[in-house]
Amino acid sequence: MEPTALFHGHKQISPPQGVPILDVDPYDTDNLTQRTYFEALRAQGPFAYIPRYGVLACGGYAVTREVFSDHERFVSSRGVGLSDFGLEEPWRPASIILEVDPPYHTKTRRVIMRALSPKVVRELRDAFKADAERLIDSLLAKEEIEAVTDIAEAFPTKVFPQAVGIKEPDARMLVEFGAIVFNAIGPDNDLRNRAMARNKDIMPWILDRCSRAQLTSDGIGALFYAAADAGEISEHEAGMLVRSLLSAGVDTTVTGIGNALWCLATHPEQYARLKEDPDGMALPAFEETLRFTSPVQAFFRTAALKTEVAGIPIEEGTKILCVLGSANMDPDHWDRPEVFDISRKTVGHLALGAGIHVCVGQNIARAEGQAILRALAERVDRIEIAGEPTWRPNNAIHALDRLPLRFVPK
């Protein structure tokens, strides 16, 4: 057998028969912030070959859903970034929920699913509601707000660590850790290198927060340790599942909420619909934000065997960039996808993934988004843009850097 030459941390493959070559860099600043390549990607057919990284990419709805949800052929255990964990060491011990396959995945998924169940989340709703109302009230007197820090970061970093039961939270550390985890998914670029440099200071603090002693006895984290006490998982696995919550549960909801504020600020007629029925429309508005902005833009899968999708032969070891953000904008699937419409049917969007790895935190994420948008719509008559919104490049996340707003109270 020929030795496997590594290219960007994975097996170098040549473009399969019938796959067009698309000479773009999905990780350049323009593509990360403006999503410029989405249309060109979909125009190539089911897949394009990206020579710069030696990977396939897909951005059409049907094919992206097919690859993303087929966990037998397109595995997560070899990493959901460019690096193939079968061929090189991951940047940190692999996640025991995201970066594993069945049957092991089934065990950890069950524990985390129970800890984030609708029943558990229902009990958090009153606290989310009160915190959201208090936060929006506190901002009404301000001349201008920086919505990314004042709301998008402030709210999840208050309510989520509290729900998890983190005894000594630190909003800055949690937000920075999220950025690190998602930048790590990308290539060896500036964003990733800076993330790795910061990780040295942040990871020890995060891992400290994950221990039994650093968690309250009544939070979500304690439910993992209860599963350890019951012999379902080990003490170490319980800590690793807390690490997963802190990896995936902050930057994602921060981004979802920030993006929702941006959508509503830039679509006043949609904000008017939300105001007519804050209770009924807050959740649909959040869901349409997920479809329209896809906070997690793209994750990879790795072909575990030689196979075929949409008539295209795919060799074992192929990394496939599944561009969820593009699938959510595919006109072959969505009616006028470029229109932000909180009344549209959003079911089937891929912003939370699909298949056995579909976002396990979706109940709590939605509860956070709903609480903030409802509190906002009940109190704020108009949202005005007070300065140029800017996007913050990240290798996997499509998030705002700045969103200066003015709230006109009711």
**Least distance from C-beta 103 to ligand OVM, angstroms?**
18
d(CA 374, CA 132): 9
- Judged by CB under 6 A, the residue of 182, 286, 334, 340 near ligand OVM is 182
By the 8 A CB rule, do 89 and 15 touch?
A: no
**Least distance from C-beta 100 to ligand OVM, angstroms?**
9
297 binds ligand OVM per the rule CB under 6 A:
no
- Judged by CB under 6 A, the residue of 181, 371, 376, 405 near ligand OVM is 181
How many secondary structure helices (H) and strands (E) does the chain include?
Answer: 17, 14
The residue (of 155 and 182) whose beta carbon lies closer to ligand OVM is: 182
The residue (of 55 and 248) whose beta carbon lies closer to ligand OVM is: 248
Instruction: Tell which positions 15-54 bind ligand OVM, by CB under 6 A.
Output: none
CA distances from 49 to 16, 20, 170, 227, 230 (A): 8, 6, 42, 44, 48
d(CA 380, CA 197): 41
- Judged by CB under 6 A, the residue of 83, 199, 247, 270 near ligand OVM is 247
Listed ranges 70-78, 113-121, 181-189, 256-264: which one lies at the site for ligand OVM (CB under 6 A): 181-189
* 169 C-beta neighbours (distance < 10 Å), count: 16
Total site size for ligand OVM, rule CB under 6 A: 9
**Least distance from C-beta 248 to ligand OVM, angstroms?**
3
- Judged by CB under 6 A, the residue of 77, 157, 199, 244 near ligand OVM is 244
95 binds ligand OVM per the rule CB under 6 A:
yes
98 binds ligand OVM per the rule CB under 6 A:
yes
* 20 C-beta neighbours (distance < 10 Å), count: 12
- Judged by CB under 6 A, the residue of 41, 238, 248, 327 near ligand OVM is 248
**Least distance from C-beta 396 to ligand OVM, angstroms?**
7
228 binds ligand OVM per the rule CB under 6 A:
no
By the 8 A CB rule, do 126 and 111 touch?
A: no
Q: Which amino acid is at 159?
A: V
By the 8 A CB rule, do 328 and 41 touch?
A: no
d(CA 373, CA 164): 22
By the 8 A CB rule, do 176 and 246 touch?
A: no
Please report how the helices 268-276 and 278-293 are oriented relative to each other, as an axis angle in degrees rounded to 10: 150
* 187 C-beta neighbours (distance < 10 Å), count: 18
* DSSP per residue, 328-341: TT-TTTSSSTTS--
**Least distance from C-beta 281 to ligand OVM, angstroms?**
28
97 binds ligand OVM per the rule CB under 6 A:
yes
Instruction: Tell which positions 334-353 bind ligand OVM, by CB under 6 A.
Output: none
Tokens of 246: 């802190």
294 binds ligand OVM per the rule CB under 6 A:
no
The residue (of 108 and 270) whose beta carbon lies closer to ligand OVM is: 108
- Can you give the binding site for ligand OVM, defined by CB under 6 A? 95, 97-98, 181-182, 185, 244, 247-248
